Structure 1
């Protein structure tokens, strides 16, 4: 007589049934599974068994039916946990608010005078639970280490969301620029530009990364590290946009050339904004009349804005002039030439008030150096300065408008070139006999 076998290929004589009064029956096998020819049928039969259905039901229902053992043993534990979570939510929302507004979390000196602690104390006036939480001596989660950890977690979450959006784009372009902070540390600013399938343009700031130097090899390595960190593929890179420094745009060993070796389709474009700034700078410096007028204007803004006493005299005289609605004096930027039109306009609008300010300032000046520097009054009275300032304002206001247009992320490269041609035609039309 043939021996009977189970659905799993075991002889029934080799099966031992183990039972538990509170659990479904479980089967313990002595010799493992052997019926591999009928594997599919055997597994389907097992899915219909009572023990498999019971185990599946436990896996599904167990997470939703079980509770924290602390909550089951004590109501006070559950209440304490709910209050702690509510207090911690205030901590998170306060840090998020300060980070969103770009405000310092900690103040000068003692941390108890910082913006973060003061914001929590203000919230505690309307929340007794938070007020009692703030009186705790330990485990209040308000220390500088906890603050930094929360900010880091928030920034990581934001970067993950940005990275996920960028990875969905079929093509990317990268823009970087090096700068030096107040601690004399070289940093690289990284911005990635993308276009969605709906042709919406987005520019995402990915962060500032410290670098030991700004040579081409180091900057290229920084770009590779950013792409590796965010899991970007160089196959999607179609454009590079840098300034005209040799380390960035060098034809033989610059950053642009090194990236082209990785992805030949990543074409390099010299930043239009910097090109415009360099063109305006070279043009103005080659015309002595404009150069002298701008140098005097720069000295005027320094004399006024860096001296509270002289600026106070200027504001008082400006208010006393009949019908004066002009704005205050704006400092002439020493590096950016495409933001100088507003500064020159402020000088022209306040010309009379400035002349009276120099006359009164000379009367109260005691040192010879100050009197010599206030000699700009004589230069302001010359025809060359007045004509040069008016001419500079006429030219620079058009380059300023062009610079603002080039910063519009919605414009394509072809549209930006068209705007530049229109500005050039406008400047040409100003020439008359």
Structure 2
């Protein structure tokens, strides 16, 4: 049923794009929890009232993260949607070589088939790079973020630590005092960092106490983390 709904929505989106002519693509690649490579594709177009629309049309599994595989999936999707490559006018990727490489990147392969396409670097990704460079200029901030991420890795890897963290949490307290509230810092998702940092601050005393107890029982790695925090 959900698949039928999705097909209906995509057909409507594609119909609008076909009616208005030119369009752009926004492409990104990531792994799912099972390690499979997936390519997300969005289509951007302008309607007759000059309103810009960005429509997500699907996530597609790809055999590899090479530019050839990524571009091949783009061509396949456009063909299935009956969207002529001749109407493609722009493409947006992150700064990875397999995406935006001038000679063998996905951008270059698409442009070989449609020279009129302009390439745009993802603004959100650029903002993330700017913030990362600003952060590493401060040793204090850099170390704090690194330790916050290490804590999340530790929480996800050690069932013993999760159990101790739960035991220390006061019963019936806020949901923020749950192990799942300790979140990782996504390296390319700057919008996801604030909740992770805020969660660590909200749970700071519980985190320190749980690390100390793990260190007291002789786990060297936790003793190191406790000293860092």
Q: Which category of TM-score, normalised to the shorter sequence, fits these structures?
A: 0.7 to 0.9
The equivalences for 1:14-29 within 5 A come to none
**Aligned residues of 2:22 and 2:88 also touching (Cα < 8 A):** yes
Task: Write the deviation string for residues 256-310 of structure 1: whole angstroms up to 9, x where unpaired.
Answer: 2232233333210011112222333344345433332222222334445653322
**Distance in 1, Cα, partners of 2:64 & 2:119:** 22
Match status 1:243 vs 2:97: no
**Distance in 2, Cα, partners of 1:358 & 1:212:** 41
**Distance in 1, Cα, partners of 2:187 & 2:119:** 24
1:311 maps to which of 140, 165, 184: 165
Shift of 1:241: 0.4
**Distance in 2, Cα, partners of 1:157 & 1:349:** 44
Match status 1:373 vs 2:222: yes
**Aligned residues of 1:251 and 1:257 also touching (Cα < 8 A):** yes
Match status 1:348 vs 2:197: no
**Distance in 1, Cα, partners of 2:83 & 2:63:** 24
Shift of 1:334: 4.5
Q: Give the secondary structure class of the aligned counterpart of 1:299.
A: helix
- TM-score by length of structure 2 reads 0.78
**Aligned residues of 1:176 and 1:189 also touching (Cα < 8 A):** yes
Inter-CA distance 317–377: structure 2 relative to 1 (3 Å threshold): farther
The equivalences for 1:211-230 within 5 A come to 211-230=62-81
**Distance in 2, Cα, partners of 1:267 & 1:211:** 24
Inter-CA distance 258–361: structure 2 relative to 1 (3 Å threshold): closer
Task: Write the deviation string for residues 115-160 of structure 1: whole angstroms up to 9, x where unpaired.
Answer: xxxxxxxxxxxxxxxxxxxxxxxxxxxxxxxxxxxx4x55544432
Root-mean-square deviation (Å): 3.0
Aligned residues: 222
Gaps of 5+ in 2: none
**Distance in 2, Cα, partners of 1:375 & 1:195:** 55
**Aligned residues of 2:94 and 2:100 also touching (Cα < 8 A):** yes
Task: Write the deviation string for residues 331-367 of structure 1: whole angstroms up to 9, x where unpaired.
Answer: 132534512233223333443343344445555x3xx
Q: Give the secondary structure class of the aligned counterpart of 1:293.
A: helix
**Distance in 2, Cα, partners of 1:356 & 1:183:** 33
| Pair member with larger Rg | 1
The equivalences for 1:266-277 within 5 A come to 266-277=117-128
Q: Give the secondary structure class of the aligned counterpart of 1:340.
A: helix
**Distance in 2, Cα, partners of 1:311 & 1:207:** 39
Inter-CA distance 376–155: structure 2 relative to 1 (3 Å threshold): closer
Bigger fraction of residues in strand: 2
Inter-CA distance 316–182: structure 2 relative to 1 (3 Å threshold): closer
- TM-score by length of structure 1 reads 0.45
**Aligned residues of 2:111 and 2:117 also touching (Cα < 8 A):** yes
Aligned partner of 2:185 in structure 1 is 333
Q: Which moved more, 1:281-290 or 1:243-252?
A: 281-290
1:198 maps to which of 49, 71, 74: 49
